[in-house]
Copies of this chain bind each other. A is one copy, B any other.
């Protein structure tokens, strides 16, 4: 067990480094908006997580001030740096952060080898690897946004290694949009058994407990909405028709001047990617739309977004999962009987259960094996710098 964990730990840590490899120290410091973080910060924060919560290091065991700098939002772990100012930290340097990663890795692997990590810490270690995988995706979405903000809009990766440039290979991509899966009303189970308990696989606390739901009769699309379909919405004046939008969404879109998905070019054919400007694949799922846009598109299409229960219970039959996160109509809220993890890690998920919308699926930037059918991603309705798209559902006639 500890040895399997050591392997997983090493692989996850190495994958983060590989993703950050093309970034110069200057790139790694960019913070383009308060919601995004510098790549250097992601590299440091994930290390802090292991140092603090697995190795049990006190602030005093870290270089002075680093505990303050690299705590994200854990009030129980003490005071922390203002999120919006992470881009103002040139020191420690990227090299110092990478060196710290190595030292923490060495200590942790050596402890694992000596079997000097108790059960509870092993659990947190496993949690930490999943945590780091989340930051791998954020690192990519954040750096994409930062490069977009540079007037030169340079390429960060080459096309071969940019995760958002991979050729569509899944069946789901050959032809986009619905075929509808019609489903009758049913009582079904969703969610995951609380982790860590005997026999349960890893899941975040927000996925638990597994519980019964009544899913009403509905139809859900076999495939996510594709670029060509979304382009039809744009051409049809979707961004200029208030009746299609939620009130908040319309106001937000007007104030922000939205005319199309975040990274679409005004020329109608190209999109910005981690490898710079590229032709847009009409058959690929649309991405980088906010909840408001997803909702407006669905209304335009005479449909609606699925609830997360509809999505999860249909998951085995859904094609095209894995290319974009799919907005659902469900606000992010606790499942009945939800219990946060004990202690400071209880802040991991629970305190964000307000003002956010659930997304399901997984994206081109999600680490392989990271997501699962019960996985609940969540972002605020206006967010669109994530790889977020949608799938349609509809009520019976």
Contacts and interface: CB of A to CB of B under 8 A. Distances in A.
B381 A76 contact: no
A336 B395 contact: yes
A336 B218 contact: yes
Nearest to A148: B88
Interface in A332-347: 333-334, 336-337, 347
A187 B216 contact: no
B32 A29 contact: no
Given A329-B333, A329-B334, A354-B248, A150 B88 contact: yes
Nearest to A94: B26
Given A185-B212, A355-B355, 19 more contacts: A24-B90, A25-B26, A26-B29, A64-B152, A69-B152, A81-B151, A85-B149, A88-B150, A90-B146, A91-B152, A92-B152, A245-B351, A246-B351, A246-B352, A250-B351, A307-B336, A331-B333, A337-B395, A355-B381
Interface in A65-96: 65, 68-69, 73, 75-76, 81, 85, 87-94
8 closest pairs, A vs B, by CB?
A: A331-B331, A214-B214, A26-B90, A216-B336, A247-B351, A27-B90, A246-B354, A65-B152
A30 interface: yes
A238 to B, nearest CB: 15
A370 interface: no
Interface in A118-154: 146-147, 149-152, 154
Interface in A9-51: 24-30, 32
A246 B26 CA distance: 35
Contacts of A351: 245-247, 250
A353 interface: yes
Given A25-B26, A75-B243, A151 B91 contact: no
Contact of A76 (B185, B243, B250, B347): B243
B30 A88 contact: yes
- Identical copies in the complex: 4
A282 to B, nearest CB: 29
Interface string A178-205: 0000000101000000000000000000
A249 B90 contact: no
A330 B304 CA distance: 19
Contacts of A81: 151
Contacts of A330: 333
Given A88-B146, A216-B211, A218-B336, A69 B151 contact: yes
Contacts of A250: 351
A356 to B, nearest CB: 9
15 contacts: A29-B90, A89-B150, A90-B150, A187-B214, A212-B216, A245-B351, A246-B352, A250-B351, A292-B354, A295-B354, A329-B334, A330-B333, A336-B395, A337-B396, A355-B355
